[in-house]
Structures are given as C-alpha cells and as structure tokens.
C-alpha cells in the first residue's frame, strides 16, 4: 500500500492518474476504484501507476447501462443546458436549474450523465465520483448553475446527444430531472 501511495503521489497528470477515484486496503487486497472501469483501463493503471497481484479493482465493469428518462420540469423546478451543444472535447458542461415553484428550493451538486451507445442503450459516463455535500438555496424566480465535468481523456466522447440527470426530493416526491445537450 505504501508503494502504491508513493507511486500515485509522484505520478504525472496522465489519464491513468485522473481515472483513479481512490484506493485503500481491503480484505487481503488493495482495492482501487476507477472512474471508467474496463479491462483496458485496469491494464493502463497497472502499466502506468503500479502493478501488483494484491491490487483488486472495485465495482462493475463499464459500461453500465442506464436507460432511465427524466423530466425537464417538475412543479416549477426546471433544468436546462446553458447551450444546446458543446465542442466534442469539452471538459465542463453548465446546467441551469431554475425555481418557479413559488417557494424556496434547495439543490445540491450531485449528478450523472449518460450517452447513447451504438446498440441504442444509454450508458453512464465517468464523471465526478465525489460531490460536495452543499445546499444551494434558490428563491422563487432565481436560477443557479451546476457544473458537470466530462473526462474525454479517460473516455473519448463521440458526437451525439447526451443526458444530464439531477435527482432530488421535491415536495416529498423523488424526482429525476433531465436535460439533454449535444457534443459536436
């Protein structure tokens, strides 16, 4: 574990380095969590950061299918991409959340993004895995911004339509807000 820590802390800012979410000691192993967990990305980690038989990669292998759909507006709370399209190599997407509910609304920063695969299914993109537990307050009529991060060096995004999801409890109902944007 100390060897991995040392190698990780001295690693450059490569895509293998940015793909690591975290690591720690598991049951007779060193567990490593990756943003995009594929056999290829595991091998990249082993080649560029550290290779040991003690390393075990956590979680399901990507891609993870998520064919959910949400709504863009619910009881006066709406979600919209700041622009309908972004350049293909974008690393940030700005999403506007607007409150026209007639009362204060508190929102956080957790989100997910999906892309449509060649088979027609939607799969979850690697994004920020850790979010600040913060509550932003919007008075009626106000808007706020959620900044979503993309990692095209970890998973090169293809031109097409993407879905941004924000889930919250609104008046006691679990609501999945969704907006779309394009990468061109």
- In whole angstroms, what is the distance from residue 110 CA to residue 55 CA? 29
| Cβ atoms within 10 Å of 126's Cβ, excluding its own | 22
* 86 upstream amide cis, omega within 30 of 0: no
Distance CA 170, CA 73 (A): 11
Res 12 pLDDT > 80: no
With contact defined as beta carbons under 8 Å apart, do 121 and 146 qualify? no
Residue 129 clears pLDDT 80, i.e. is over it? no
pTM of the model: 0.88
The pLDDT confidence band at residue 9, using thresholds 50, 70 and 90, is confident
pLDDT digits (tens, 9 = 90+) for 132-180: 668 899 999 999 999 999 999 999 999 999 999 999 999 899 999 999 9
Residue 63 domain flag:
no
Residue 130 has pLDDT above 70, yes or no: no
Number of domains into which the chain is organized: 2
CATH assignment at residue 167? 2.60.40.10
Domain enclosing residue 86, as ranges: 73-183
Q: Is the pLDDT of residue 95 over 90?
A: yes
- Is 80 exceeded by the pLDDT of residue 11? no
């Amino acid at each position: 574990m100390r060897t991995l820590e040392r190698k990780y802390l001295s690693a450059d800012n490569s895509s293998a380095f940015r793909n690591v979410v975290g690591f720690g000691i598991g049951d007779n192993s060193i567990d490593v969590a990756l943003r995009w967990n594929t056999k290829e990305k595991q091998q990249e980690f082993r080649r560029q950061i550290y290779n040991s038989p003690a390393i075990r990669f956590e979680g399901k292998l990507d891609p993870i299918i998520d064919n959910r759909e949400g709504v863009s507006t619910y009881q006066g709370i709406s979600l919209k991409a700041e622009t309908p399209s972004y350049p293909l190599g974008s690393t940030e997407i700005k999403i506007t959340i607007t409150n026209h509910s007639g009362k204060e609304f508190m929102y956080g920063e957790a989100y997910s993004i999906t892309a449509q695969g060649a088979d027609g299914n939607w799969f979850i993109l690697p994004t920020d895995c850790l979010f600040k537990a913060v509550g932003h307050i919007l008075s009626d009529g106000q808007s706020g911004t959620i900044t979503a991060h993309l990692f095209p060096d970890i998973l090169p995004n293809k031109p097409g339509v993407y879905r941004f999801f924000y889930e919250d409890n609104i008046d006691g109902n679990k609501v999945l807000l969704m907006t779309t944007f394009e990468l061109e």
